[in-house]
Every structure is written in C-alpha cells, then in structure tokens.
Amino acid sequence: GSPLHHVELPSWANSPEDFVYLHRKALESEYVSLHLHEWIDLIFGYKQRGQAAIDAHNVFYYLTYEGAVDLDAIEDENERK
C-alpha cells in the first residue's frame, strides 16, 4: 500500500494506532459476534432486495444495483464510463 497523508482522524482517536486499535476492539467484541449474521443478511443474504430489504431499510438508488443498466446498449463511450 501507499502511505496516506493529511488524514483527519475523529476527535475520539488519539493517534492512527489508537484508531485502528479501537476499531479492532469493536469488531472483535461480543456484540459484533452476536449480530454478525444480521449484517451478512443485509449485505449477502435475503435482505438485499425485495420486501425484506424494504423492511430492513436496506434499499438504495436503483442505478446502484447490478444489472439495472445494460452497459452494452450504451453507444457513447463517455456515458459508458
């Protein structure tokens, strides 16, 4: 990777190392372990689309979904990008 410069950390992080430490601590917490399956359902599972997604407030602008636009049908190269 490349070093990042001029990154503004949130006020609750005392240093870049502290920022990473706190995120690791959160991700390895009991709470996350108990609720990870819910996140998986939202991202990879049945709550991605349809009524389950609507009920879970997990809907996005329609053009962000794969297959919403037929890129092969767009003739203008600038529009395809």
Q: How far apart are CA 48 and CA 31, in angstroms?
A: 23
pLDDT at res. 26: 95
Q: Can you tell me which residue has the tokens 């709550």? A: 47
pLDDT, mean of residues 56-77: 86
Q: Can you tell me which residue has the tokens 């990777």? A: 1
Look up residue 64 and give its DSSP letter: G
Structure tokens at 81: 């990008």
Which tens digit of pLDDT belongs to each residue from 11-61?
Answer: 999 999 999 999 999 999 999 999 999 999 998 999 988 999 999 999 988
Name residues whose C-beta falls within 8 Å of residue 22's C-beta, 6 or more positions apart in sequence: 12, 13
